[in-house]
Structure 1
Amino acid sequence: MSLEDVRAALPVALPVMMGYLAIGVPCGVMAAEAGLSPLAAFLLSATFYSGAGQFMMASLALAGVPLVSMVASVALVSTRQLLYSAALAPYLRSAPRPLAALFAATVTDESFGVNLSRLAGDASWTPVRATVVNVASMLSWAVANAIGALVGPALAIPTAVMSFAMTSIFICLLAGQRWSRATVVVAASSAAAVVALKALGAGSLAVLVGALVGVAAGLACASGARGGRASR
């Protein structure tokens, strides 16, 4: 890793880092309410590193949900990481195993979106730079959680505000994508599936299924486009 890689990656990571600072503090506040110290909140955020999972863990712990049910719920929500691995694996084949392992351990929803678009469309974007984005984002998230746990007892942040802060990051990432027919199909299919499943009472499962529906719709759209070109 060179200084040039860091200089190239940090501006790309900055929007994600700023968003993580905004939502990490409320997550840390909830962690403090569940009994975690600032150090514990930092270590959890730097090792488990899942915004949705950490919000869920704090909420379930405060609700008195049994540990087994808590682990199962968080694991189910986190299965979307399998989709990220499948999408990113082709771009990391040449990376050394320690670097690939660090990259895989520090991928989240937002850094996945940023890095996938760069790896697919920018020849200068390397696994090293992608990993710098991941690690910088992770550190900002962990620090924000520690700050939230430290000042938590003095703050009262409405849950609705916390939830929308996380949603707003996804909206910003979506707006910054290169829009194509496939992008529109994926976004529309995923959104429609999540809304429909939420209305049916699917709960957290709606996010996972919605992501799968979006991926399937995108693959079908891409396959149809290739078939159309081949028949000409």
Structure 2
Amino acid sequence: MASKEGGNGTVGRRLAHVFPHALPVVLAYLVIGIPCGVLETQIGFGPLLALAFSSTFYTGAGQFMLPQMVLAGMPLPTTIASIVLVSSRQLLYSAGLAPYLGKGSRLDAFALAATVTDESFGVNLDRFAGDAGWDVRDGLLLNLLCMSAWALANAAGVLVGGMVSLPTVLMSFGMTSIFVCLLLGQLRDGSTYVAVLVSALLVLVCKLAGLQGAAVLLGAAGGVVCGLVWQVWGRSGGIRS
């Protein structure tokens, strides 16, 4: 039986229910995914590889990091560890959605958890909390729409990068600018500021000490740990406003 919100109806009705909520994320992924694909051409990606990679390795931050770290000559273990560390936050997203997934099948719940990202997590969490007709398959469809947009944008970016010679430095500057904008959008509390400052300082110290390969990994890990400690300390009453 279809719900009043259309969440459990036919495919067309479900798509009509979900697509308006997915559209802002889809548009953003189309804009950001193309520069990511252009960067991927610098490490030998073709359109099919970019499409397959984006569909199975669904972490935008990790995909931006990969070509930049490869081009910078980072050791493979450092590259892998850094990307895994950055992508580990996906586990928290899955845990955050877990209370809403009990009414769906285990397969649908697993697929939803496996395809969630920063943006789709926020949309799904809002829908699950405020829309009685939003179910697990709606959430999964939203994730798949976003994933498709990201994968197609990456493939298009590889095509563009193959036809037009764009300086790597220029693309790196563009990606750095995007990440700065994303970072500024996350500066909401003390723990975030602590994580950012500690990460930057540790990366600087590591580079000055000659630890080029480990700088990003140690900086990211140290920043996350210090940010979590600050957050826990604040909740326990260690920080008074």
- Taking structure 2 as the reference length, the TM-score comes to 0.75
- Structure 1 residues 56 and 116, CA gap change in structure 2 (3 angstroms): same
Separation of aligned partners in 2, 1:15 and 1:89: 24
Higher relative contact order by CA 8 Å / sep ≥ 6: 1 or 2?
1
TM-score (norm 1): 0.78
Aligned to 2:174: 161
Q: Aligned-residue CA RMSD in angstroms?
A: 2.7
TM superposition shift of 1:47? 0.3
Per the alignment, residue 197 of structure 2 pairs with: 196
Counterpart code for 2:177: F
In structure 2, relative to structure 1, the CA distance for the partners of 1:137 and 1:143 (3 Å cut) is same
Provide structure 1 residue ranges, at least 5 long, that are not aligned to the other structure.
175-185, 222-232
Question: Taking structure 1 as reference, are residues 22 and 171 closer, same or farther at Cα in structure 2, changes over 3 Å only?
Answer: farther
- Aligned match of 1:80: 89
Unaligned runs of 5+ in 2: 1-9, 204-218, 237-241
Seq. identity, % = 44
The answer to whether the 8 A contact 2:45-2:158 is kept is yes
Moved over 3 A (4+): 155-158, 163-172, 202-218
Residue 123 of structure 1 aligns to a residue in which SS?
A: coil
CA distance in 2, matches of 1:187, 1:125: 29
Q: C-alpha offsets along residues 1-54 of structure 1, whole Å, 9 cap, x if unaligned?
A: 632221111111111111111110111011110111111011000001110111
Looking at structure 2, the residues matched to 208 and 11 of structure 1 have their Cα atoms a distance apart, in angstroms, of: 34
Q: If you compute each CA radius of gyration, which structure gives the higher value, 1 or 2?
A: 2
- Quick one: structure 1 residues 59 and 200, their matched pair in 2 at CA, closer, same or farther if it must change by over 3 Å? same
In the TM superposition, what are the counterparts of 1:1-232 in structure 2 within 5 Å?
Answer: 2-153=11-162, 154=164, 155-156=166-167, 157-165=170-178, 168=181, 187-201=188-202, 203-205=219-221, 208-209=224-225, 212=228, 220=235
Distance 1:214 1:95 in 2: 37
Most deviating of 95-104 and 143-152: 95-104
